[in-house]
Chains A and B, each alone.
Chain A
Amino acid sequence: MFYRESGQFKTGYAADQAVFPILQDRWGVLLMLIIGFVGVPLVIDDYWANAVFIPFLAYSLAALGLNILTGYCGQLSLGTGGFLAVGAYSSYKLMTGFPELDMILVLLGAGAITALVGLLFGLPSLRIKGFYLAVATLAAQFFLIWLFYKVPWFYNYNATGQITVPPREALGFLVTTQKADIVVRYLFILSIVTVFAIAAKNMVRGRIGRSWMAIRDMDIAAELIGIRPFATKLSAFAVSSFFIGVAGALIFSVWLGAAESGETFGIIESFLVLFMIIIGGLGSVLGSFLGAAFIVLMPIGVKNVLVDWFGFTAVFAKHVEITTFGVLIIFFLIVEPHGLARLWQIIKEKMRLWPFPH
């Protein structure tokens, strides 16, 4: 009823190509941003920040990265955990090697290093597709984790084999370690993720995004239009890895504060991020956020309901959680391959016409 676009006329292609061409959407997004930047910091505490908001934002960024590669460019990757680890370890090396470096530059540096590693592991995509490529990226996952475990240089030869974040500032605000104010940490990660989300949206709606999707949908036809398949796939690998690298650096430095390659960035992480984009919506920026929210929030919800309300054991709740993931993934793959983002779009279409069916 309130979601009507009648009377909103577009008088130019610029207006027609806007990210949110409908006025209500613009207000909605503005409202979300105000809640995110002003509302949440007023009420946030350590538990909510560390258990919900910060992991949600960090995983959203990782999901966004994987969605660029898998959802937009059609290259299935199971190496996300490995690339998150590259981001985390390279940010650690940058932080300890250059203590004066601003956190923003550390994140960009970690992203750039991960992009290079992603390029390297994207090379097989010239020859192999689909499941075969997935297996090649799986090799990246295991190789990278092994590398960070075996080569002590990566964790500065410390006895534990772990990496622990040193206190570092971004634009004069302390953003890492437990000493940093939780609101500052939250706002820092929120700002980074917002900027990256805008960047992703701009890329996918322009020439680069269209060439990724063209490669995904019909690589032969794309080649005839003048899109170079190999360069386009590699650009998707690089951009995707950049996003994932920054996400890995954030998970390590702002969220967890410490990490160990196999424990923190194992194969489970690769699958979790893949689940996020399948449930959220392949080939959708919004879907990356919805999927991350779902995967981060569901275990907390299940635990609260089953353990705290009904008195089941924590192990039982964990099993229910894993089973639910499985069922939902089957459900989405069969019923709605475009995920939660598509469901949201259907709701919006229905609202435009409500109360009429057509």
Chain B
Amino acid sequence: MNVMTKPTITEDHRTIGDVQMEVKNITLRFGGVTAIHNTSFNIRHGEIRAIIGPNGAGKTSMLNVINGFYHPQEGTITFKGEERRDMRPHIAATQGIARTFQNVALFKGMTTLDNIMTGRSLKMKKNIFWQILYEGPAKMEEIENRKFVETIIDFLEIQHIRRMPVGKLPYGLQKRVELGRALAMEPELLLLDEPMAGMNVEEKEDMSRFIIDINEEFGTTIALIEHDMGVVMDLSDRVVVLDHGELIADGTPDEVQKNQDVIDAYLGVAHD
């Protein structure tokens, strides 16, 4: 008997497909410190995949490896069928991997609108000479992308802060704008690093709803790191558990919760 079984309010219409991203035998060292040790797991098309673990387990490092910020000493990353030794940030972006950060990493001097428009950078191709002229192709491109950005602004319900510099927004809204900026890239894989950190219950509920909607309506694959276990167990299809840089469990929320290693890692058992 499990109290935390997912309540089935609506039927699940999603189709979870084949493996989209596979990390294999990743080992990442910083000098003498091994941040991630020989870790493998995969992410399937259209699922919500959670990465959990105690502080310092290597979760954010793992996202940084997937993103191409860190280059692992060993292992391979396969995304959309292409196997690589390591990822590069620019390749990750062009291949459709978007990301939000643990501590909001918005462009503070820019407005909400400009922040989300910046997310469209890769979709905008007109060169500097058209841009200087502005009238004509550059303007058309700007308006096309603005239309798309407005749909995101509608979706996230942030119309009222469109013209506000994001530095002045409250934290919860900043997180939402950051999510909007990632969505503007039309990502295939969305990495969320603690999307609900520092939020109150109401904000967490909003954010959970957005995550579910993004996953269901746009079919975006989501990998998220989160410390709120209630949220993780409710949202995710499969969970990876890391501890001290090693993978200790991988499975559905129910399986993971019953796993003795996971319970030990969270409750604290002496490591030999």
The one of B118, B139, B146 that contacts A222, using a Cβ cutoff of 8 Å = B118
Contact A208 B142, CB 8 Å, known A223-B90, A224-B93, A226-B122:
no
**CB-CB < 8 A to B106: which residues of A?**
217-218, 221
Q: Is B164 at the interface (CB under 8 A from chain A)? A: no
The 5 lowest CB-CB distance pairs between A and B, nearest first, are A226-B93, A217-B107, A202-B134, A226-B122, A221-B105
* A13 x B146 contact (CB < 8 A): yes
* B128 x A208 contact (CB < 8 A): yes
Distance (Å) between the CB of B174 and the closest chain A CB? 12
Q: Choose the segment among B21-29, B94-102, B212-220, B238-246 that binds chain A (4+ C-beta atoms closer than 8 Å).
A: B94-102
* A227 x B121 contact (CB < 8 A): yes
* A14 x B139 contact (CB < 8 A): yes
Q: Is B181 at the interface (CB under 8 A from chain A)? A: yes
Give CA–CA (A283, B99) in the complex, Å: 27
Give CA–CA (A239, B117) in the complex, Å: 22
**CB-CB < 8 A to B126: which residues of A?**
207
Chain B contacts to A: CB under 8 angstroms: 67, 69, 89-90, 92-94, 98-99, 101, 105-110, 114, 117-122, 124, 126, 128, 131-134, 138-139, 141-143, 146-147, 150, 181, 185
Give CA–CA (A210, B133) in the complex, Å: 16
A contact patch SS: helix
What mask results when residues 4 to 16 of chain A are scored 1 for a CB within 8 Å of chain B, else 0?
0000000011101
Closest to B191 in A: A224
* B99 x A224 contact (CB < 8 A): yes
* B181 x A225 contact (CB < 8 A): yes
Closest to B139 in A: A14
**CB-CB < 8 A to B150: which residues of A?**
13
CB within 8 Å of B: which A218-249 residues: 218, 220-228, 235, 239
* A213 x B105 contact (CB < 8 A): no
B contact patch SS: helix
**CB-CB < 8 A to B143: which residues of A?**
12-14, 17
What mask results when residues 105 to 139 of chain A are scored 1 for a CB within 8 Å of chain B, else 0?
00000000000000000000000000000000000
A-B contact number at CB 8 A = 100
14 A-B pairs (CB sep. < 8 Å): A12-B143, A16-B146, A17-B139, A202-B138, A205-B134, A206-B142, A207-B131, A210-B114, A216-B107, A217-B110, A223-B90, A226-B90, A227-B121, A228-B90
What mask results when residues 61 to 86 of chain A are scored 1 for a CB within 8 Å of chain B, else 0?
00000000000000000000000000
* B109 x A283 contact (CB < 8 A): yes
What mask results when residues 178 to 199 of chain A are scored 1 for a CB within 8 Å of chain B, else 0?
0000000000000000000001
* A225 x B118 contact (CB < 8 A): yes
Distance (Å) between the CB of A326 and the closest chain B CB? 26
* A224 x B67 contact (CB < 8 A): yes
Give CA–CA (A14, B139) in the complex, Å: 8
* A226 x B128 contact (CB < 8 A): no
* B121 x A226 contact (CB < 8 A): yes
Contact A202 B118, CB 8 Å, known A225-B181, A228-B90:
no
Give CA–CA (A79, B18) in the complex, Å: 55
* B122 x A13 contact (CB < 8 A): no
Most buried by A among B107, B108, B138: B107
Most buried by A among B134, B147, B150: B134
The one of A14, A221, A226 that contacts B101, using a Cβ cutoff of 8 Å = A221
Give CA–CA (A14, B136) in the complex, Å: 11
Contact A206 B89, CB 8 Å, known A218-B105, A221-B106, A225-B119:
no
**CB-CB < 8 A to B93: which residues of A?**
223-226
* A210 x B122 contact (CB < 8 A): no
**CB-CB < 8 A to A199: which residues of B?**
132
* A211 x B131 contact (CB < 8 A): no
Give CA–CA (A16, B106) in the complex, Å: 23
Distance (Å) between the CB of B108 and the closest chain A CB? 5
Give CA–CA (A206, B144) in the complex, Å: 13
**CB-CB < 8 A to B121: which residues of A?**
207, 210-211, 214, 225-227
Give CA–CA (A226, B93) in the complex, Å: 5
Give CA–CA (A221, B131) in the complex, Å: 23
Q: Is A203 at the interface (CB under 8 A from chain B)? A: yes
Distance (Å) between the CB of A142 and the closest chain B CB? 30
* B131 x A208 contact (CB < 8 A): yes
Closest to B163 in A: A16
* B185 x A226 contact (CB < 8 A): yes
The one of A203, A213, A225 that contacts B131, using a Cβ cutoff of 8 Å = A203
* A202 x B132 contact (CB < 8 A): yes
Closest to A283 in B: B109
Given pairs A221-B101, A221-B105, A225-B121, 16 additional interface contacts (CB within 8 A) = A14-B139, A199-B132, A202-B131, A202-B138, A203-B131, A207-B141, A208-B128, A210-B117, A214-B118, A216-B107, A221-B107, A222-B107, A222-B118, A224-B93, A226-B90, A283-B109
Contact A235 B128, CB 8 Å, known A206-B138, A224-B98:
yes
* A213 x B138 contact (CB < 8 A): no
Closest to A202 in B: B134
Give CA–CA (A235, B114) in the complex, Å: 20
Give CA–CA (A220, B131) in the complex, Å: 25
**CB-CB < 8 A to B181: which residues of A?**
225
Give CA–CA (A346, B120) in the complex, Å: 30
Distance (Å) between the CB of A224 and the closest chain B CB? 5
Give CA–CA (A204, B109) in the complex, Å: 13
Distance (Å) between the CB of A317 and the closest chain B CB? 37
**CB-CB < 8 A to A16: which residues of B?**
146
